[in-house]
A and B are shown apart, each in its own frame.
Chain A
Amino acid sequence: MRFMAKHIAVIGDSESIKGFSAIGLDIFPCDDTEKAPQLFHHIAEGDNYAVIFITEEIYELVEKERRRYEERLTPAIIPIPGVKGNSGIGTKRLSSFVEQAVGSDIIFQ
């Protein structure tokens, strides 16, 4: 059992995430999509954040960097819809878990 006080990070375009700073999450605006992997790596590697919420557009850009954290307990990397609307990545991610575990998707179809 480890207890450590960590924080929550939010990565995304500044329009989508600016509200989160008001409720006490650390925001990392990322409007330049080319810098996204670098920024993500920096945040995830710092081990300062237990949860990283990331808007769907950026989530897709950092696919390679995400892989390393899949088997670790933290950080939990969670896609959230931005202002541009929901592209269904979150649900797709869930259904991919079901597919991985069961062999076929029996919940979402």
Chain B
Amino acid sequence: MAIMNVNPTRMQLSKLKKQLKTAVRGHKMLKDKRDELMRQFLDLVRENKELREKVEAQLKNCNDHFVNAGAVMSKQSLDASLMSPKQQVSIETSSANVMSVDIPVFSWDTRTSSDGDIFPYGYAFTSFELDDAVMSLNDLLPDMIKLAQLEKSCELMSAEIEKTRRRVNSLEHVMIPRYQETIKYISMKLEENDRSSRTRLMKVKDMLLDKAHNYSST
């Protein structure tokens, strides 16, 4: 691992030691964040998978109902029956915070309160197949909204987990080793300087003694 390009001074050393401490603490916290995010994400994804399978199966069912209705009624009258909807769904979006990730929470409301009051047509000229189709689709709506909420949450969380994972890895495998190497390099360099100045001093002392008294310490 390459060391950083710094001057081997005591000031640098204490600065680096502080930075290393921060990096280690940050690493630990990010790792905890990643683990917790991952745990929640996996729960969400499992739930999401089940719900998606359910919704897709039911949607297929609804489509079958509509095909049946289309077979009994003419296309024009089918389209005309569905043309002017009575029902209107409105969604309120709020956000929940999961480990610093904002995920959406959808709460929804419909214009007509009763489930039986949703049909946008009179029953006289339409087949019961169409009633079935609309009813089954209406039953599916809460699940579909739940699915939308879950999938969006999974999408946002997976992006955040990837980011956090990259940060953890870069701290663990790049930043922290680099700090450690640099600290080691500086302290070795300082020790070496220390030793070399000490030997120089000893040498100078010898020379001075030799000069003054013709006396050698050895």
* Assembled-state Cα–Cα distance A18/B55 (Å): 17
Please tell me if the beta carbons of B148 and A51 are within 8 angstroms of each other in the complex: yes
Interface residues as binary, B40-60 with A (CB distance below 8 Å gives 1, 0 otherwise): 011001101100110110011
Nearest-neighbour CB distance to chain A for B197, whole angstroms, equals: 52
Q: Which of B66, B91, B147 contacts A19 (CB 8 A)?
A: B66
In the complex, chain B residues whose CB is within 8 Å of the CB of A100: 158-159, 161-162
Contact B88 A51 (CB under 8 A): no
Max count, chain B CB within 10 A of own CB: residue among A4, A23, A76, A93: A23
Please name all residues of chain B whose beta carbon is closer than 8 Å to the beta carbon of A97 when the two chains form the complex.
Answer: 45, 154-155, 157-158
Closest to B37 in A: A101
| The 8 nearest A-B residue pairs measured at CB | A24-B87, A76-B152, A101-B158, A101-B161, A24-B89, A97-B158, A51-B148, A50-B91
Q: Which residues of chain A are within 8 angstroms of B103 by Cβ–Cβ distance?
A: 73
Report Cα–Cα, A97/B134, bound state, in Å: 33
Checking A5, A22, A82 against B120 with a beta-carbon cut-off of 8 angstroms, the contacting residue is A22
A11-33 residues with Cβ-Cβ distance < 8 A to B are 16, 18-25
Do residues B148 and A78 form an inter-chain contact, with CB atoms below 8 A?
yes
Q: Are A101 and B157 in contact (CB under 8 A)?
A: yes
A1 touches B148 (CB 8 A): no
Chain B positions near chain A (C-beta within 8 angstroms): 38, 41-42, 45-46, 48-49, 52-53, 55-56, 59-60, 62-63, 66-67, 78-79, 82-83, 85-95, 102-104, 106, 109-111, 118-120, 133-134, 137-138, 141, 144-145, 147-149, 151-152, 154-159, 161-162, 165
Among B48, B118, B119, point to the contact of A94 (Cβ < 8 A).
B48
Within the complex, what minimum Cβ distance (angstroms) separates A40 from chain B? 16
Residues of chain A touching chain B, judged by Cβ–Cβ distance below 8 Å, are 1-8, 16, 18-25, 50-51, 53, 70-71, 73-74, 76, 78, 80-83, 85-86, 90-91, 93-94, 97-98, 100-103, 107-108
B157: chain A residues at CB < 8 Å are 97, 101
Given contacts A19-B82, A22-B137, A97-B154, contact A86 B110 (CB under 8 A): no
Contacts of B87 in A (CB 8 A): 22-24
Report the bound CA distance from A70 to B67 in whole Å: 34
**Minimum C-beta distance from A47 to chain B (A):** 11
- Chain A residue nearest to B154 in the complex (CB): A97
| Dominant SS among interface residues on chain B | helix
Find out whether the CB atom of B134 lies under 8 angstroms from the CB atom of A76. Answer: no
Could you say which of A22, A80, A82, A102 contacts B118, with CB atoms under 8 Å apart?
A22
Measured in the bound complex, the distance between the Cα atoms of B78 and A73 in whole Å is: 36
**A22, B86: Cα distance in complex, Å:** 7
14 A-B contacts (beta carbon < 8 Å): A3-B94, A4-B93, A5-B109, A8-B89, A18-B79, A19-B66, A19-B137, A22-B87, A51-B106, A74-B104, A76-B149, A78-B147, A86-B60, A94-B154
Q: Closest residue of chain A to B53, judged by CB?
A: A91
The reply to whether B91 and A101 contact each other, CB–CB distance below 8 Å, is: no
